[in-house]
Amino acid sequence: MEDVRHVLQLITRRFGFLNKNCCSVGGVDVSLIQSHILYEIDRQHHPSMHQIAETLGMDITTFSRQVQSLIRKKLVKKSPSDQDRRVYILELTTEGKFVAAAIEQQVQDYLTQIFSHMNEFEKETVIRSLKLLNASMEKTGVCCS
C-alpha cells in the first residue's frame, strides 16, 4: 500500500512523457496542455470556454490565452453562443481535428504496445481496475467533473 503512491507517480509520469513527446504533427507544435485542450474540446459537444477550463482545472485567464494561441495556429474556432452572448463556443477546425486524431493515434499505438505484454485476461483485469480506481477517485471528490 505504501508503494501505491510510487506506482501511480510512475504511471502518471510515463503517461505524461508520452503526451509531451507526441505533440508535433505535420509542422504544428502543440504543448502538453494544448493537447489536453484539443482532446477535451473534441470530447465535449460544443463546450464553452468555462467548461473546458473547469474540466482541466485551469485558471480561466491562462486558459483564455491558450485558446488564443490555438486559434492563431488555426486548430480551434471560437464563436459566440446564440443563447448567451457572454459565452463563447469552442470547436476544432478541420486541421485541429486532424492534429487531435494524429495524437490520439499515437497514444493508442502506445497503449497497444503496452498491453501487448499482457495476456487477454490480464489486459481485461487491468482495464477494469483502472475504471474502478477512477470511479473511486470520483466518489472521493477532489477534482475533475
Partner DNA sequence: TCTTATACTTGCAATTTGCAAGTAAAGTCA
Partner DNA sequence: TGACTTTACTTGCAAATTGCAAGTATAAGA
What does the binding site for a second copy look like in residue numbers (CB under 8 A)? Answer: 1-2, 4-18, 20-21, 36, 39, 43, 56-57, 104, 107-108, 110-111, 113-115, 117-118, 122, 125-140, 142-144
CA dist., res. 140 & res. 136, Å (int): 6
125 three-state secondary structure: helix
Task: Answer whether 54's CB lies under 8 Å from 37's CB.
Answer: no
Which helix (H) or strand (E) segment is 80 a member of? strand 76-80
Confirm or reject binding of residue 18 to DNA (CB under 7 A).
no
Which one, 30 or 100, has the nearer CB to DNA? 30
Closest to 93 in 3D by CA, of 109, 111, 78: 78
Task: Rule CB under 7 A: choose which of 14, 16, 84, 108 binds DNA.
Answer: 84
Q: How far apart are the first and last CA of the chain?
A: 27
The stretch among 3-11, 45-53, 101-109, 117-125 that binds DNA (CB under 7 A) is 45-53
The stretch among 4-12, 36-44, 66-74, 95-103 that binds DNA (CB under 7 A) is 66-74
Question: From the CB of residue 125, how many other CB atoms can be counted at a distance below 10 Å?
Answer: 12
The stretch among 9-17, 36-44, 77-85, 134-142 that binds DNA (CB under 7 A) is 77-85
> Where do contacts with DNA occur on this chain (CB under 7 A)?
31, 33, 48-51, 53, 58-62, 64-69, 78, 83-88
